[in-house]
Amino acid sequence: MMFKKLGQTGLKISRFVLGTMQMGWIVNEEDSHKLLDAALEAGINTIDTADIYSKWGDGSYPGKSEEIIGGWITDRGVREDIVLATKVRGDMSDRPNDAGLSRRHIMNAFEGSLGRLNTEWVDIYWSHWPDQDTPMEETLRAYTNLIESGAVHYIGASNHTAAEIVESLWVSDVNGLERYEAIQPSYSLARRRDFEKHLRPVIEKYGLGVTSYSPLGGGFLTGKYSKDKLPDSKRADTTKTRYFKDRNFRIVDTLKEVAAAHDASIPQIALAWVLTQNIVTAPIVGANSPEQLAENLKALELKLTDDDINRLNEVSDWVEMDDLAR
Ligand SMILES: NC(=O)c1ccc[n+]([C@@H]2O[C@H](COP(=O)([O-])OP(=O)(O)OC[C@H]3O[C@@H](n4cnc5c(N)ncnc54)[C@H](OP(=O)(O)O)[C@@H]3O)[C@@H](O)[C@H]2O)c1
């Protein structure tokens, strides 16, 4: 497994991060533990979760993914072996102060996450998405206090626009507060534009790390979706709503051709393409089983040719669409 430094920090994270949004929702506790074992065994040292995972499953609730991970960490005694990332922002209950990025909620939510994860510290604490109701200075000051206490090592911003990132860096700078060291956007062959057009220049200029999510478009870029038939997946309807576009089906057709030339699978090529983007420190892979994970890990060994990359870039190009819309 290769490790990369997260942005300008000294933190080394594996080239794949393990996503855990499926734990407690699609994958039960026992199978989640098997998945976590398989990831650690393969050399993945970084685990991404969130306090609200996975509140949308039948019989699930916010915090269940963290509980499952906490149980695994305790059972296996592996806290020192892993880099643990969790997030705050989403609604943990109907109470008005049980959501957002206020000082009150951050402090409360953080204690909850520590308890469920059964740990004394979180390596990367993410703002899951922006909170327009709270001044950035309040949020960043709360995070700075957590970092100074030693319980958080780094902070990051997920689902923020380039303007919000730049504003936050300015607020940190002028107030002497800790800054977001990394961002977590959606990024895949089917979702390139926002990242490449708006976020990339900011990442390059300010040296931010990137752990991007949904590299397989929630399963769409595995080739198992067709216009008239959905796969047997609890996420199929959401994936359909987000990704069913003619252009995305053309991307899958090209992925299929490139995969055949490499004797590889479609998801392996989709992941290998993300890995060619050096600006991404590590994509967060979502796998529902050790088998899916094993298949996806082989992407790390694939070498796409310039011709493969050009073909994939061309079929997923957004610059031309932008020009046409001008
Ligand atoms: N910050 C945020 O707002 C945010 C948002 C979303 C996700 N995330 C993080 O990113 C992680 C990954 O996101 P994601 O789950 O959307 O990633 P993804 O890689 O785009 O999709 C993963 C899904 O694809 C399917 N899949 C994966 N490997 C496969 C294979 N080899 N063959 C066939 N199907 C396969 C599985 O679904 P099925 O088998 O059910 O089809 C799996 O749940 C999450 O767990 C979470 O940690 C963060």
Ligand 1, atom 31, lies closest to the CA of 292
CA distance 191 to 149: 38
The alpha carbon of 322 and the centre of ligand 1 are apart by a number of angstroms equal to: 28
Interatomic CA distance for residues 211 and 204, integer angstroms: 14
Per-residue pLDDT of 135-184, as tens digits, reads: 999 999 999 999 999 999 999 999 999 999 999 999 999 999 999 999 99
Residue 320 is predicted with a pLDDT of 83
Q: 268 in ligand 1 pocket by Cβ < 6 Å?
A: no
Domain 3-325 has CATH 3.20.20.100: yes
Measured CA to CA, the distance from residue 6 to residue 84 in angstroms comes to: 13
**Phi/psi at 203 (nearest 5 deg)?**
-60, -45
pLDDT for the residue numbered 269? 98
Q: Is the CB of 118 under 6 A from ligand 1?
A: no
* Dist. CA 6–CA 14, nearest whole Å: 10
Question: Ligand 1 within 6 A of 184 CB?
Answer: yes
11's CB contacts (< 8 A; 6+ apart) are 5, 83, 123, 124, 153, 154
Question: In angstroms, what is the span from residue 190 Cα to ligand 1's centroid?
Answer: 14
DSSP letter for 183, please.
E
Low-confidence ranges of the chain (pLDDT < 50): none
pLDDT of 322: 87
Nearest ligand 1 atom to alpha carbon 184? 1
- Give me the phi and psi of 77, to 5 degrees please: 60, 45
Cβ of 286 less than 6 Å from ligand 1: yes
Q: Model pTM?
A: 0.96
pLDDT score of 268:
98
Task: State residue 9's pLDDT score.
Answer: 98
Shortest-distance Cα residue to atom 37 of ligand 1: 219
pLDDT of amino acid 153: 98
CA dist 268 and 212 (Å) reads 16
The CB density around residue 249, as the number of other CB atoms within 10 Å, is: 16
Q: Which residues are the active-site residues?
A: 53
pLDDT for 67 equals 98
Which candidate, 86, 84, 81, 85, places its Cα nearest to that of 43? 81
What is the residue extent of each domain of the chain?
A: 3-325
Asked if residues 272 and 299 have their Cβ atoms less than 8 Å apart, the reply is yes
Q: Which residue has the tokens 């003619």?
A: 246
Q: What is the pLDDT of residue 64?
A: 96
Q: Report yes or no: 62 and 24 within 8 Å, Cβ to Cβ.
A: no
Pair 59, 234: CB distance under 8 Å: no
Contact assessment for residue 17 and residue 210, using Cβ atoms and an 8 Å cutoff? no
Directed axis angle between helix 290-297 and helix 266-275, to 10°?
Answer: 50
Cα three-residue angle 175-180-2, rounded to 5 degrees: 150
